[in-house]
């Protein structure tokens, strides 16, 4: 089972579902237009193994059983750039604790952003968490989107605006 937190228009989730028909995929999204867009993809591509939670990702993370997710995606979340809004950023200790709980040992957590300061923020918090290890072995590993990770419209907008996205993959370390 894979989980996408805040799937936007659902293009990435639908692509992953089409490429991985043997994997159940759960997507969380608050915005009704995004949910409607994903449901259109699901219907048109007959993606029967996709489930949608039109609610807050925190609620879903809190409700999932421990060690039930093999891969999680958080792609181009709102960076909440103003200092007074940093408490709204998704990558923070309490969320990472929840994510660590639901991920299986060895699971991947994939994160992308085009906001340099948020990248620094997220990287520091995930690396500081005892449950995660960054998989990058060279700069290429975070500068280039992996082949099994399709572009999103947010990535395309960032590139068009001259911002360079980063693609971070973390591994859930084994529980002791």
Domain with 165, as residue range(s), is: 2-172
- State how far the Cα of 104 lies from the Cα of 31, in Å rounded to an integer: 28
For residue 78, indicate whether it is catalytic.
yes
DSSP assignment of 4-56, as one string? EES-TTSHHHHHHHHH-TTS-EEEE---HHHHHHHHHHHHHHT-TTEEEE-S-
The CATH number linked to 13 is 3.40.50.150
Please report which helix (H) or strand (E) contains residue 120, including its range.
helix 116-127
Q: What mean pLDDT do residues 32-43 have?
A: 96
What are the tens digits of pLDDT across the range 116-155?
Answer: 988 998 999 999 999 999 999 999 899 998 899 898 888 9
What are the tens digits of pLDDT across the range 52-76?
Answer: 999 989 999 999 999 999 999 999 9
From 54, 56, 70, 78, the catalytic residue: 78
Q: How many domains does the chain have?
A: 1
């Amino acid at each position: 089972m894979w989980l996408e937190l805040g799937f936007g228009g659902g293009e990435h989730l639908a692509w992953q579902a089409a490429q991985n028909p043997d994997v159940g995929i759960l997507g969380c999204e608050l915005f009704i237009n995004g949910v409607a867009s994903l449901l259109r993809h699901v219907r048109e591509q007959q993606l029967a193994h996709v489930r949608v939670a039109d609610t807050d990702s925190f609620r879903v993370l809190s409700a999932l059983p421990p060690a039930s997710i093999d891969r999680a995606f958080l792609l181009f979340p709102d960076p909440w750039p103003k200092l007074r809004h940093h408490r709204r950023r998704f990558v923070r200790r309490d969320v990472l604790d929840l994510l660590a709980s639901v991920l299986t040992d060895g699971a991947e957590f994939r994160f992308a952003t085009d906001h340099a300061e948020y990248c620094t923020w997220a990287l520091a918090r995930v690396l500081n968490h005892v449950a995660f290890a960054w998989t990058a072995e060279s700069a290429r590993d975070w500068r280039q989107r992996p082949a099994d990770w399709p572009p999103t419209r947010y990535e395309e907008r960032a590139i068009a605006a001259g911002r360079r996205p980063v693609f971070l993959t973390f591994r859930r370390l084994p529980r002791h």
